[in-house]
Structure 1
Amino acid sequence: MLAAQRQEQILDQVRRTGAVRVADLVESLAVSDMTIRRDLDALESRGALRKVHGGAVTTQGPRTEEPGFEAKSTRQAREKRAIARAAADLVEPHSAVALSAGTTTAAVAEHLCEVPGLTVVTNSLRVAQILHRAPRPDRTVALTGGFRTPSDALVGPLALTSLRGLNLDVLILGVHGMQVRSGFTTPNLMEAETDRALVEAAGALVVVADHTKWGTVGVSTIAPLDRCDVLVTDTGLDPDARRALDEHVGRVVAAPLTEDGL
């Protein structure tokens, strides 16, 4: 196993359980104590975890921490590109589609530029800009009003009013985290309210979330796992997480990664 693969397994376990012990990693990964300690040093230098006596713990921030769009766009970029293509393939031509704000949904929008006859409703400035740059005479784009959040979402009373009374075929929803007990979550209370309005307006719910979102919990729940019809994630998802999700969501699609993520 390559060092990068081993470190990704360690990081997945830290995200899933909150902490790891060196002795347990030595046994499960069949490598030396020194190898594990070097891996933990490398992960700590990236800010991915924090070393403690005998192991390491998660560096997950407060449940209200909300990184900006640019910061999030550099994380798991390859996985997001694969997820975006797989999610866009689920959208039927001439349907009414909603896209929430987020870096993964922005990547989905790039692929939806090719789908004919869409009506797209979004509270994402980035999604609207992407679709505006690739105009089609057979496409309608509706951008909600509202206050802007760090993730470039439009939220608040104006956004809620514009969504009221809509009947959409499908919502493609980006999330901050997912967990069995808390469901799909976000660190922003106002964004959660707007996302819940989008969920209410949609007949089907497609959630796009890379494997690192598993076990992360934001302060506010958008929807329980069993409200999701299709979860599009990537092949890096932990097997235990996959089994848990299979029990709760309608269908799990694990988008395969290629060299360029396309």
Structure 2
Amino acid sequence: MAGKERLTIVRQKIQSEKKITVSDLSQMCKVTEETIRRDLDKLESEGAITRVHGGAIWNEGAQKEGIHFYRRQSKHLKEKQEIAHKTVELLKGKRTIIADSSTTVVEALKLLPDSADITVVTNSTEVFREFQQSAINFVSSGGEFNKKSLSLQGQLAKSNIEQYNVSLALISCKGLSIEKGVFDSNEREAVIKKAMIRQADEVALLVDSSKFDQTAFVSLMDPKKLDYIITDKKPEDTWIEYCEENGIRLIY
């Protein structure tokens, strides 16, 4: 069975079953489990599935979550730019920043002072195109290149991030809930974001208003550990009260 044919079959099987193990796919396709794992890596990079321990699950929102970076960048651009402008105050005086690969965070980075005194560690590859002429020092996490999200992932990226201590982490998410926490939809991306959070003195969550009271597949962090939430408009009163009670600075 050719690789492309097998990949199509694996995709269809996961879509129909919703969740399946590497072992079952290996037996079905009569190939090694290592071959199946490589197939699953390809499907995850496309946004079709999410890898879980021992197997994979189908992303119901695959058509949304697999949207290429530039298509995502153009969606809700006004809201992202509003959030970015509200982040400017936090960026003042910060010399070391760690930033995820989300489109909202990239918009915020565009507003940094063009100074050689600033260093940004990131798993985004888009920043190196965007800031070719900038005096800012950008440090790449390295790792496996995801062409859809223009991000670097995997163990190498995580290990490299763990070498740096920074003043501020800029991250985004797919959903946040007072009861359940902050969520992302991609397990490999969430691993990188968790490492970034651990290495920062302060954490700022840049999130548009549609993500409030929503959940996604992967738990990212307890919202009580956030220092800032920056969004495009005033959230529900329950969020305002929650932030006040937990010392989170809410900016909208």
Question: How far apart, in 1, do the equivalents of 2:241 and 2:86 lie?
Answer: 20
Question: How far apart, in 1, do the equivalents of 2:155 and 2:213 lie?
Answer: 31
Question: How far apart, in 2, do the equivalents of 1:217 and 1:223 lie?
Answer: 12
| Secondary structure in 2 matching 1:89 | helix
Q: Is the 8 A contact 1:84 1:107 kept in 2?
A: yes
Q: Give the structure 2 partner of residue 144 of structure 1.
A: 141
Question: How far apart, in 1, do the equivalents of 2:211 and 2:164 lie?
Answer: 29
Q: Is the 8 A contact 1:124 1:153 kept in 2?
A: yes
Residue 66 (1) aligns with residue 65 (2): yes
Q: 1:128 and 1:174, CA in 2 relative to 1: closer, same or farther beyond 3 A? A: farther
Residue 95 (1) aligns with residue 99 (2): no
Question: Which runs of 5 or more residues in structure 2 are unaligned?
Answer: 1-58
Residue type of the alignment partner of 2:139: A
Q: Is the 8 A contact 2:122 2:141 kept in 1?
A: yes
Question: How far apart, in 2, do the equivalents of 1:63 and 1:181 lie?
Answer: 23
| Percent pairwise identity | 20
Question: Which runs of 5 or more residues in structure 1 are unaligned?
Answer: 1-60, 255-262
Question: How far apart, in 2, do the equivalents of 1:237 and 1:186 lie?
Answer: 20
Question: How far apart, in 2, do the equivalents of 1:74 and 1:182 lie?
Answer: 29
| Secondary structure in 2 matching 1:215 | coil
Q: Give the structure 1 partner of residue 218 of structure 2.
A: 220
Aligned pairs (5 A) from 1:1-262: 62=60, 66-68=65-67, 69-93=69-93, 95-114=95-114, 117-132=117-132, 134-136=133-135, 139-149=136-146, 150-235=148-233, 237-248=235-246, 250-254=248-252
Question: How far apart, in 1, do the equivalents of 2:157 and 2:102 lie?
Answer: 16
Q: 1:110 and 1:158, CA in 2 relative to 1: closer, same or farther beyond 3 A? A: same
| Secondary structure in 1 matching 2:203 | strand
Structure 1 range deviating more: 184-193 or 232-241: 232-241
Q: 1:86 and 1:124, CA in 2 relative to 1: closer, same or farther beyond 3 A? A: same
Residue type of the alignment partner of 1:148: F
What are the superposed Cα offsets for residues 134-173 of structure 1, whole Å, 9 maximum, x if unpaired?
Answer: 321xx32101111233322211011012112311110011
Question: How far apart, in 2, do the equivalents of 1:115 and 1:177 lie?
Answer: 33
Q: Scaled by the length of structure 1, what TM-score is found? A: 0.66
| Secondary structure in 2 matching 1:112 | coil
Q: 1:190 and 1:234, CA in 2 relative to 1: closer, same or farther beyond 3 A? A: same
Structure with bigger RCO (C-alpha 8 Å, 6+ apart): 1
TM-aligned CA deviation for residue 181 of structure 1: 2.6
Question: How far apart, in 2, do the equivalents of 1:197 and 1:186 lie?
Answer: 14
TM-aligned CA deviation for residue 108 of structure 1: 0.7
Q: Is the 8 A contact 1:109 1:131 kept in 2?
A: no
Question: How far apart, in 1, do the equivalents of 2:237 and 2:77 lie?
Answer: 22
TM-aligned CA deviation for residue 207 of structure 1: 0.7
Q: Scaled by the length of structure 2, what TM-score is found? A: 0.69
| Secondary structure in 2 matching 1:165 | coil
CA RMSD of aligned residues (A): 2.2
Question: How far apart, in 1, do the equivalents of 2:175 and 2:247 lie?
Answer: 15
TM-aligned CA deviation for residue 94 of structure 1: 5.6
| Secondary structure in 2 matching 1:104 | helix
